[in-house]
Amino acid sequence: MNTTPKRRWPVIAGSVTAAALILTGCSAGGGESSDAKTITWLVDNTENTITYAEKLAEDFNAANPDIKVEIETRPQGGDGDNIVKTKLATGDMADVFSYNTGSLFQQINPEQNLVPLTSEPYMDNVLDSYKPVVTSGSEVYGVPVGTGSAGGVMYNKKVYEQLGLSVPKTWDEFMENSRKIKDAGIDPIIQTYQTTWTSQLFVLGDFANVAAANPTFAEDYTANKVKYATDPAAIKGFEHQEEAFKAGLFNEDFASATYAQGLEKLVNGEGAHYPILSFALPEIQVSYPDKINDLGIFPLPSDDASKNPLTVWLPGGVYLPKSTQNVEEAKKFLAFIASKEGCDSQTEAVGANGPYLVEGCDLPDDVPAAVKDMLPFFEDESKNSPALEFLSPVKGPALEQITVEVGSGIRSAKDGAALYDEDVKKQAQQLNLPGWN
Amino acid sequence: MTTNTTVAAPAGRTLTAAAPKRRQRKSSYPYWFYLPAALVYTTLFLVPTFASFFFSFTRWNLTEFTWIGMDNFVQFFSEPALLKGLTNTFIYGVVTSTLKVVLGMLLAVLLTSQIIARGYLRSVIFFPVLLSSIGVGIVFTVLMDPSRGMINEALAVVGIEGPKWLTDPAWALMSVAFVDVWKGVGLATVIFIAGIVSIPQEYFEAAKVDGASSFKSFWNITVPLARPATATVIILSLIGGLRSFDLIWAMTKGGPGFTSDVIASVIYKQYQAGFYGLSTAGNVVLFLIVTAVIVPLSMILNRKEVEA
């Protein structure tokens, strides 16, 4: 009896090994080619992302029959950030993964965790305007997936037509239009504070105006030399939100409405303006396909009609973690994503919702009207600026609560801006940035 | 939340009562029998507790940390949301535990009297305790919607314009507190029922013979003799109220803005933002505050119980 447990171990180990061998034999035999390799790709779990990711994987496999791409998903937002950070820290990351660019990219320790791609031939395809947001130190670490998008005022063109309005170039014109819309019995500005992030657009979407007034703002902001509360251009975003609330231009249920309800109001013409990200377009296309061309987009206006630039959001990146075993195959896949074929396969899957940041990628003629509105701003560099989060790693986590308060009249614009300046201090200290201690 | 702590307080009392006995009788088990329990307790409780005391003095990103002394605590106390959170925590704790004591006592008196369907009513009152806080929070968020919610629609029928429960800064915290009371009063009632049932019937009979009204016998017999139950309910609901988080997070996420933030939701938001050292410091502060409130309170309540 005593000896049996000791003898059992080799038997178990042996059978496990045998089973493993049989299993691997099976899977290799079952594939199309005898030496097909599988790489994994971790993406977020929005329907839009999964749809284009699966299409990319399929088309890549058609071009490279010996490599299969398997999609893994993770949640979005704070939970997703934690998963990515933990997987990187434990060496458990997929072979390639999608993640944000800009300030969130800086937080995952690129130099320690990622394989630099600076000298890869396909990096020549990536537009230069994209590279800074996936660069840490002197190396570039990612290729773009998805399209650029904008943060501005999405508006209902039918309402504008009916009331004979034209797109405003200044804040005063915008308020003037809004008052006319209100007189016509339509909600001029949609706000949806139940989905708190949507409250930030007055501030985040105004950044191109800040950058136009003060071209070194982002740099000085990272170095703790300028503040939202004291910079006359930067505080405008908060002030505009306060002004619009005080003028009673929001929908009545702004405090309890959700993002989905906001889109519904806009599409149905119950509301005329909705300051939001153009990420909303694919969602509208799915839910209200016949009304997508009723919508347009214009930049959040400033006081200066001559500039009127658009704040743009750059697409996420696909990165190669150091922990991967399949570097060659993964690099082939990155090359496919950063090619014309890659863009085409994304367009085929979800349509084009903005310009790609890869050389040679053209948009089809039938893009939604709002995308057509955006394109002129993207083409002329003086007419756009990336949002602050792509230019500076400093971003405070409480902005959405602060803008809810400013937009509900709980806190004044000046107070809100000062509170946000306090909030970003923690992020800067956590990242050990010089000038903040 | 309250259910977690149910065991702790009564167990504490039995321990003090049993203490003198233990000294006299030698345990029949060897000391190494303690080992498995000690091991579990050490790895799951002691180590994390002391680790969190340590990390509260650092700036920490899960892989590396820098020692920054008291900076986290300075930062935590200069947090603008914190003052609001602190006052809200106390308001919430006091409001919920007062209402639970008063309503729980009244319901317990009702449910120990001779009424029809007593057993059924007892289970109805207790039922919300069994529900998940998140589920309750989501359901009430829908019910309390200012324009489409069932509560305000019902009020509109009788001609009252209901407040904007969760989106009006003046109402948000109170609305959540009411839901907390709805959900937690069943537990308080059960504790009070146990306390009232254990009062010997002779007192009530004697009072009746002396001609006491039912209000008098409630005030002069039930209330003082149910004191142990009252103490337990106060302590449990106050602990639950001070560290309440789940209902608030499910219903308002501390909003609108920061107006219904409590300490626990402030800490959670800091954790979400990746400020691990800072949020650990917040937890240490919360631990100290709860201890500073509960320890003296439970000493006072239990001492009076002994004197009585």
Whether the ipTM is more than 0.85: the answer is no
User: Region A334-352: what's the mean pLDDT?
Assistant: 90
Interchain contact, A193 vs B166, CB within 8 Å: no
Peptide bond into B256 cis (omega under 30): yes
pLDDT per residue over A354-404, tens digit each? Answer: 889 898 888 888 888 999 999 889 888 888 899 999 999 888 888 989 999
B147 inside 8 A of chain A by CB: yes
- Amino acid A32: pLDDT: 45
Q: Measured between alpha carbons, how far is B152 from B287 in angstroms, rounded to an integer? A: 38
Q: Which residues contact A95 (CB under 8 A, 6 or more apart)?
A: A39, A40, A41, A320, A321, A324, A325, A326, A329, A330
- Amino acid A380: pLDDT: 83
Q: Across the interface, which of A109, A401, A427 has its CB nearest the CB of B257?
A: A401
A76 inside 8 A of chain B by CB: no
Looking at the complex, report in whole angstroms how far the Cα of residue B278 sits from the nearest Cα belonging to chain A: 9
User: Region A155-166: what's the mean pLDDT?
Assistant: 93
Place of tokens 């209000």: B215
pLDDT per residue over B252-277, tens digit each? Answer: 888 788 888 998 888 888 887 778 88
Q: Measured between alpha carbons, how far is B108 from A106 in angstroms, rounded to an integer? A: 58
Looking at the complex, report in whole angstroms how far the Cα of residue B66 sits from the nearest Cα belonging to chain A: 10
Pairing assessment for the beta strands A310-313 and A149-156 based on DSSP bridges: antiparallel
- Domains of chain B from N-terminus onward: 87-307 (1.10.3720.10)
Interchain contact, A404 vs B167, CB within 8 Å: no
Check if the beta carbon of residue B197 is closer than 8 Å to that of residue B223: no
Q: Measured between alpha carbons, how far is A45 from A329 in angstroms, rounded to an integer? A: 24
Q: Measured between alpha carbons, how far is B262 from B252 in angstroms, rounded to an integer? A: 11
Looking at the complex, report in whole angstroms how far the Cα of residue A404 sits from the nearest Cα belonging to chain B: 5
Interchain contact, A81 vs B274, CB within 8 Å: yes
Q: Measured between alpha carbons, how far is A307 from B26 in angstroms, rounded to an integer? A: 88
A418 inside 8 A of chain B by CB: no
- Residue A340's φ and ψ, nearest 5 degrees, are -60, -40
- Amino acid B193: pLDDT: 94
Q: Measured between alpha carbons, how far is A34 from B196 in angstroms, rounded to an integer? A: 78
pLDDT per residue over A223-237, tens digit each? Answer: 999 999 999 999 999
Check if the beta carbon of residue A309 is closer than 8 Å to that of residue A299: yes
- Residues pairing with A187 in the sheet: A271
- Amino acid B123: pLDDT: 92
Looking at the complex, report in whole angstroms how far the Cα of residue B170 sits from the nearest Cα belonging to chain A: 10
A437 inside 8 A of chain B by CB: no
Q: Give A86's contacts in chain B (Cβ within 8 Å).
A: 62
Q: Across the interface, which of B80, B147, B269 has its CB nearest the CB of A422?
A: B80
B27 inside 8 A of chain A by CB: no
Per-residue pLDDT of chain B (308 residues; tens, 9 = 90+): 344 444 444 444 444 444 455 555 677 788 888 899 999 999 998 998 888 889 888 888 777 788 888 888 888 887 777 888 889 999 999 999 999 999 999 999 999 988 888 899 999 999 999 999 999 999 999 999 888 889 999 999 988 888 888 888 889 999 999 999 999 999 999 999 999 999 999 999 999 999 988 889 899 999 999 988 999 999 899 888 888 899 999 998 887 888 889 988 888 888 877 788 888 888 888 888 888 988 888 888 877 655 54
- Amino acid A28: pLDDT: 41
3-state secondary structure B203-258: HHHHHHHCCCCHHHHHHHHHHHHCHHHHHHHHHHHHHHHHCCCHHHHHHCCCCCCC
Give the other-Cβ count within 10 Å of B217's Cβ.
18
Q: Give B59's contacts in chain A (Cβ within 8 Å).
A: 429-430, 432
Nearest by Cα to B298 from B236, B224, B240? B236
Tokens representing A62 are 């058609």
Looking at the complex, report in whole angstroms how far the Cα of residue A119 sits from the nearest Cα belonging to chain B: 29
B227 inside 8 A of chain A by CB: no
Q: What is the CA radius of gyration of chain A?
A: 25
Place of tokens 């000493």: B299
User: Region A316-345: what's the mean pLDDT?
Assistant: 93
Interchain contact, A419 vs B80, CB within 8 Å: yes
